[in-house]
Structure 1
Amino acid sequence: MLHIGCHLSSSKGFAAMGRQALDMGADTFQFFTRNPRGSRAKALDTEDIRALEQLLRQNDFAPLVAHAPYTLNLCGAAEENRTFARDTMADDLARLEHLPGQYYNFHPGSHVGQGIEAGIGLIAEGLNAILCPGQATTVLLETMAGKGSEVGSRFEELREILDRVEHADQVGVCLDTCHVWDAGYDIAGDLDGVLTEFDRVIGLDRLRAIHLNDSMNGLGSHKDRHACIGAGCIGLEALERVVRHEALRGLPFCLETPNDIPGYTAEIALLRRAAELA
């Protein structure tokens, strides 16, 4: 069965997001924990969270994906930026404990001239400062496109971070199809080969979620410009193979395409039909 959804706005509350996902034919979704360009988080409404929890249970939802703000950078050059990222992520994880068993996805960060190895060390250091024993949320490192000084465009970089994290069982990976394509992994021409390489370097048991996006740019462009499904350089046939791949079965797929709700609904239906052909 394909577990698929899209990114939804949390402005109307958690239970409202769950109902909207059901109306769209989704059985998972992604949401920002707070303003994606800022730091403010809404006050928690525990009654709303309990209503969502009941809806998820009654409708056999896959885990949800909470997305950290884009502004966070665990490997920033300034200590104050790293502290801000750690404090914000720690607060997000504490809030997510009210909805246990979900995923918390974040962009590993940009080393801003310090070098990849320094960036990897700072990201691991930040995770070690915020992960707690018994935590019910799994933190996901997202694969990146490699623009600028981003850390995480190569599988080896993510593996190095994982190897340095003390509570490694609480950390996994979210694979973004646009990002890995832009980073140079040919998921259109050699999906099996890319997944074999992921398994060799990181391990498929670490792969917990997929961001399903087409790309506006060619293989290895390092641009990170998402396109609607079938409207980019990866193409519909290749992305249909992604949702049908046996190694990815059971994972939550989240669309981050440049779409409105009707567009997301159409893409969800299209990809469900594709998955049924497996």
Structure 2
Amino acid sequence: MKGSPKIGAHVSIRGGYGRAARFAWESGAACFQYFPKNPRSLKLKPLDGRDAEDCAAFCRKHGMVSIAHTPYPTNMAAGTAGAASRQVMVGSLRNDLEIAEACGSLGIVVHFGTFGGMEPLQGYQNIIQCMNETLESWNGRARLLIENQAGNHGSEGMTLEELVKVRELSRHPDKIGFCFDTCHAFASGIWNPEQTGELLGRGTELGYWPHLVAVHLNDSMFPYGQRRDRHAGIGQGCIGEEKLRELLLSEPFRRAAVAMETAKGTDGSHRREIAAVQNWYEAEEQP
């Protein structure tokens, strides 16, 4: 058998981290993603050690993996002044790392960052400095997982080259990995589903794939290259099930934790989609 990744979806932490893990398991998932705190705020959240350990223990028992997703306002390109300064970002990211570590998660997914009109060189420098300060004294196993961007808020962070380079230039590359979003890659134009081999080859040349930890498996509501970040259900968008399946069955993606960020089914879970994606691998093994 070639093996398959852990498949799951984003779940709510209403009721706690342990409840989130159980809900994911009950829906047939072997992986889940969650927001460690309020997704629309950078306010720090005190760690509930008992709840986090409940989550970690349940995942160990059932062979599950999890990833945390940083709040939406997180911007690693932030400068040193203002209410949303680098200091605020670093504090929030450390808070997320601590919660993810306690929950036994692989890492925290963070968007590359938006420059908002600043000089690109300054933006890249800010991102690198933010990562350096966040990871300076971090000794946990949870890693910072940089996610590729769709281009709807600017051209930065769309290419594998950028992600690889900021990791290389950081002082702690061993504490940094990647999260590949299929909808973002399609929207930004770096993944043409008719030429998947080119993406795979480019990632190999750059040394991107060895550091791929997580995948956001999303179809796209909008056509290729339009830089529109709107997710569609698997096989219900412009990418299509066949091309998503081709990508996920490729070797670099088999080691990743795969989480869907699509609309829930009528039962409030992703049970149907999880089963459908798991079947891609089971069908592959049929004689």
> Residue 190 of structure 1 aligns with which residue?
195
TM-score by length of 2: 0.90
Q: After superposition, give the CA deviation of every residue in 1:84-124 in whole Å (9 maximum; x if it has no partner).
A: 21111122223333234521101121001113322111001
State which drifts further: 39-48 or 17-26: 39-48
Asked if residue 175 in structure 1 is aligned to residue 172 in structure 2, the reply is no
Unmatched segments (≥5 aa) in structure 2: none
Q: Contact 1:211–1:255 at 8 Å: present in 2 too? A: yes
Is the partner of 2:178 in helix, strand or coil?
Answer: strand
CA distance in 2, matches of 1:216, 1:53: 35
What's the counterpart of residue 164 of structure 1? 169
| Compared CA separation, residues 75 and 186, structure 1 to 2 (3 A) | closer
**2:194 aligned counterpart, secondary structure:** coil
The equivalent of 1:117 in structure 2 is: 121
Alpha carbons of 1:265 and 1:210: their partners in 2 closer, same or farther (altered >3 Å)? same
1:58-207 to 2 correspondence within 5 Å?
A: 58-62=61-65, 64-77=66-79, 79-80=81-82, 81=84, 82-100=86-104, 102-131=106-135, 132-149=137-154, 151-207=156-212
Write the deviation string for residues 162-209 of structure 1: whole angstroms up to 9, x where unpaired: 121111000011000000001102342122221211221243111111
The amino acid of 2:256's aligned partner reads: L
Residue 41 (structure 1) shift: 4.9
Is residue 155–residue 202 contact of structure 1 (8 Å, CA) maintained in 2?
no
For residues 269 and 50 of structure 2, what CA distance do their matches in structure 1 show?
31
Query: Normalised by the size of structure 1, how large is the TM-score?
Result: 0.93
Instruction: Give the aligned partner of residue 273 of structure 1.
Output: 279
For the 8 Å contact 1:76–1:112, the answer to whether it is kept is no
The structural deviation recorded for 1:258 is 2.5
Which residue matches 1:38? 41
Supply the AA of the counterpart residue of 2:98: A
* Residue matched to 2:53: 50
How many corresponding residue pairs?
A: 277
**Distance in 1, Cα, partners of 2:67 & 2:52:** 15
Distance 2:156 2:90 in 1: 17
Unpaired runs of at least 5, structure 1: none
Deviation at 1:155, TM superposition (A): 1.2
Counterpart of 2:271, as a letter, is T
SS at match of 2:224: coil
**Which of 20, 24, 27 pairs up with 1:21?**
24
Change (3 A) 1:50 1:186: closer
- Mean CA deviation greater in 87-96 or 222-231: 87-96
Provide the rounded CA distance (Å) in 2 between the counterparts of 1:8 and 1:263: 8
Measured in 2, the distance between the counterparts of 1:48 and 1:115 equals 43
> What is the identity, as a one-letter code, of the residue corresponding to 1:270?
A
Distance in 2, matches of 1:277 and 1:10, equals 33
Q: Which moved more, 1:184-193 or 1:161-170?
A: 184-193
Q: How far apart are residue 263 of structure 1 and its match?
A: 5.6
Letter in 2 for 1:122: N
Aligned to 1:10: 13
Is the alpha carbon distance of 1:105 and 1:24 closer, same or farther for their aligned partners in structure 2, counting shifts above 3 Å?
Answer: same
Q: Structure 2: how far apart are the matches of 1:225 and 1:5?
A: 19
- 2:191 alignment partner, SS class: coil
Relative distance call for 1:8 and 1:168 in structure 2 (3 A) is same
